[in-house]
Structures are given as C-alpha cells and as structure tokens.
Chain A
Amino acid sequence: MRRWLLAVLLLAAFVGTWQWVASLGSVDDLTLASPSEVWTAFGDDGDLLLDNAWITLLEVLLGLAISIAAGVAFALAMHLNRTLRDAAYPLLVGSQAIPVVVLAPIFVLAFDYGIGPKLAIVALICFFPITVNVLDGLRSVEDDHLKLMRSLGASRLRTLRSVELPAALPSFFSGLKVASTVSVIGAVFGEWAGAEEGLGRLVLLGNNQLQTPRVYAGVVLLTLIAVALFALATLLERLSCPWNRTERPT
C-alpha cells in the first residue's frame, strides 16, 4: 500500500513540475505542452487517439507473441544442442545490436505498408531479451539436480519438463518484462518508417503539423501501454511462479 502511495505522490510531483515549467514564459509552447493542454487534447482528439492506440497495441501484442514463440523455441534449441549454442550465440547478440531505426525502412520496402514490417521490428527488438533470459534460466539448473534426475532414470524430455522448464519460468518473465517495455518503441519505429495509422504515425504527423499537445497525448498513451504490459507480465509471473515470490518488507 505504501509503495503505491509513494509512486502516486512522485507522479503527482512530476506532473506538477511539468505544469509549472510549461507555464514559464521562456518555454516555447511548441516545444512543451502543459499537462492541462494534453488533457484538453485527450478531450478534443479522444476518438482519434484511441483508434490509433488500438492499432499500435495490436502491433505490439502480435509482435510480442511472435518474439515469445521464436525466442522460446530458439532458446530451447540452443539449450539442447551445444554446437548450435556456440555457433548461434554471437548472431543472437548481433540481433540486438542491429540499429532497428535503419532497418525499419528496409522492412517497409520488403513487406509494404501493412502491419508486416511493424510486427517484424517489434519481434526483432523483443527477441533478444526473451531468448537470452530463457536460455539463462534453462542453464541455471544445478548440476546436482541433473545428477539426481539421471540417477532416478529420467529421460532427457522428463528432465526438461520437470526440472529445466519450471526453473526457467521466472527468467522467462524477467525477459518478458524487458521485452514488453521495449516493444512499444519498436512499434513506433515501425510506424515512422511508413504507416497509414497508429500512435507512432499520429505523433510524427502531429510534430509536422505543430500540434504539440496531441504529440504529448500520444506519448502518454504509448507510455501507458508499456506500463500496462509490464504490469500484466508481473501479474502473470506471480500467478504462474508462486514458489518464487519473495517476501517483501512492508
């Protein structure tokens, strides 16, 4: 309870400072819209913002789903095959080093203006945290546990199912939390490279049309999507790994 109160207080202080700075005469209205102007923008352009937010949310969710499927499968393959792990690990790290901003326009050329390039970019950006965390989780099982399973006569699949996969679950959620926050950035890059709808495109257009409050309203919505996804991942983690719950000092 106290944690929530502190977070709300800090947020209120942040919004208050924002409002104060925006009201200073020396700050250009085109650079910084005040919270009250953003609030007005939500009222005026509410439907427009929400319609575009749905598009972006869809891109983020589908992209995340692709990256989860691909990341878990790739981590499993690397875990089960040592040669593949040694060979593919540098590529995996490389996949995270790719500047997606540069790649996005090329994806648009390849996949057209539809949802395809957005999904590809979201998936690419989320693939790394999920794969690396799942792989680390699978490998976190102690030697003694593997030895015990061997002495119990367990098959490779049994050990994977009963020991390694459950052990990797908390790490998977750590990866998912990171991925869910960066996924929104991926969707925005994807839309900037070429799109007909979505919050990223709305923000970019708003910038060109000097509609600063609408731009800030879009940014607030994008942030809310990321925070909501993070919260959802945290909730799912608590529900599916109850043994992993550490006592919090109150």
Chain B
Amino acid sequence: MQTKVKAPGVEPLSDHKTSVAVARVERRFSSRRGVTPALAGIDLHVRAGEVVGVVGPSGCGKSTLLELIAGLQEPDGGTLTVAGEASAQARRHACSYMPQQDLLLPWRDALGNAALALECQGVSRKEARRRAAPLLERFGLGGFERSRPAELSGGMRQRVAFMRALLPGRPVLLLDEPFASLDSITRASMQQWLADTLAAEPRTVLLVTHDVEEALFLSDRVAVLSPRPGRVLEELQVALPRPRDRRAAVTDPELARLRGRALEVLGA
C-alpha cells in the first residue's frame, strides 16, 4: 500500500512548499434570477503537510471552494493550482475529496466501499479488497468487512468513507464538513480519531467546517471566511503541536483565545 505523501506521476516542484495555491479565485452561479457571486477573489495557500481549517457562515462558498480545488468545478477568474498543476484533471488526480455525506454504496459491504477507490484506478475487485483489508483493521473496523452501510453506525460509516479517501494515496485531502451529520459525542471521538490518523498518515489537508472549535482543534491554521461572496477575512495560526488531545484542548488558553477571535471576526 502506498503511504508516502507523493502525487502519483507528478514531478517534484521547485516551489514544493506550496501544495494548494488559490489566488484571487472567483466563482459565480447564474440562475433565472440573475448572477450570484459565490466566491469573490479568494486567496488561500496551503503548504505541503499543513492542515488548514476553513470556517465561515452558511452559504459563504466553503463547499464551492473545495469543489474548485478538487477539480470538480472550474473558476470564473483567478488562478488555482494543486501541486503546481492548474488543469482540472491534474487537480482531480492530486486530491482526495471527502463530501459531507459518507456516500457509501448501500449494496457494497464496508470493505467493498473502501476498495471502490482502488477499483476506480483500474485495480481488480479482488486485489482492491486485499489491499484495503489491512487499513480497515487499523481503522478499528476489523470484523465489519462484510457489513453493509445500513448495519454500521454513523461514525463507522464516516471512517469507511475516510478510508476510501486515503486509499488512492493522493497528497491532498479535502474534507467537506466530515462530521456534520454525527451526534456530538460521536463527533468528539471522531475528531480525536482524525487528529491521530493524520499524525500517522500525514497529508496536506483542507478542512471545511462550520464548527470553529473543530477547525482550531485539528488545524495548523484557520481561515475565517466572510458571508457570501466568500473571501478570507483573517487567518489564525494555531501554534500548538499536532496531534492534540481533545480533552486538554477544551481548557487550553491559546485555543480559547483563538476561538474568541474567530467568533469576533465572524460577528457571532
């Protein structure tokens, strides 16, 4: 299994420090009622191996930003590169995109759902299952290989979806509100789990969330977005080593200060 952080088929860049570069990116949606700007000249740079949280009010274009980076949409203005490549196809190859819902296929078992990521790259079904199996064990899903999504808890389904995102071994991980559909207890334990997993399996991560605490707990840096049309209002450095401890984080004075500042910027 490929665990190294390296884009397949992408040459090392001279400017290898920057993994995701978003410069003055604009995105508009036209409907019958006219043109709605979703993103108005947003700037965001993510270094290789960095975890950057993106928080903002509902409808500020957070998900649009992720889909743009993931190569699922094209910007209307500005430049957008992932690992130095600008084409949508190259971006898709460099990014693993994990949407808000787990989007597991109900007819596939847990192992089959994770293995789907490898099958999409042309690996045979049998081989894909063989290669996904050890990761399932490591993610605490051993014994649930043959369980269908309907038989798994919300947290387990999210872990399977996360495996599916990690398996192709792509350098950039884009997480769109990964825990939004979970209850608060499960969410807390999944946040700790994600922090530990990212320490063991480092990736460049962009984490979109509406939960300021979650963003601060998991990220090296948090970008606070304005209401629609979204742009970055302020970037907060979280100068604490990762992975952090969920319980210690609750009382950490630095995190509390940053949380206050983020809420102030958000106007909440």
Contact = CB atoms under 8 A, between A and B. Distances in A.
B121 A243 contact: no
Interface string B109-140: 00000001101110000000000000000000
A166 B105 CA distance: 9
Interface in A175-201: none
Size class of the A contact interface (CB-based, 8 Å): 10 to 19
Contacts, number: 51
Contacts of B116: 152, 162
A153 B121 contact: yes
A23 B96 CA distance: 76
B173 to A, nearest CB: 11
Interface stretch (A5-13, A70-78, A81-89, A143-151): A143-151
Contacts of A144: 99, 101, 103
B166 to A, nearest CB: 12
A147 B176 CA distance: 13
Q: Interface residues of B: mostly helix, strand, loop or mixed?
A: loop
A158 B120 contact: yes
Nearest to B125: A162
A163 B105 CA distance: 7
A154 interface: yes
Given A152-B168, A166-B105, A243-B106, A147 B99 contact: yes
A205 interface: no
Contacts of B150: 243
A151, A154, A243, A244, most chain B CB atoms within 10 A: A151
Contacts of A241: 107
B61 interface: no
B98 to A, nearest CB: 9
Interface of B: 67, 70-72, 92-93, 95-97, 99, 101, 103, 105-107, 116-117, 119-121, 148, 150, 164, 168
Interface of A: 144-145, 147-155, 158, 162-163, 166, 241, 243-244
19 contacts: A147-B67, A147-B72, A147-B99, A148-B97, A148-B99, A150-B92, A151-B96, A151-B97, A152-B116, A153-B92, A153-B93, A153-B168, A158-B120, A162-B105, A162-B120, A166-B105, A241-B107, A243-B106, A244-B107
Given A151-B95, A153-B93, A158-B120, 11 more contacts: A145-B105, A148-B99, A151-B92, A152-B117, A153-B121, A153-B168, A162-B105, A162-B116, A166-B107, A243-B148, A243-B150
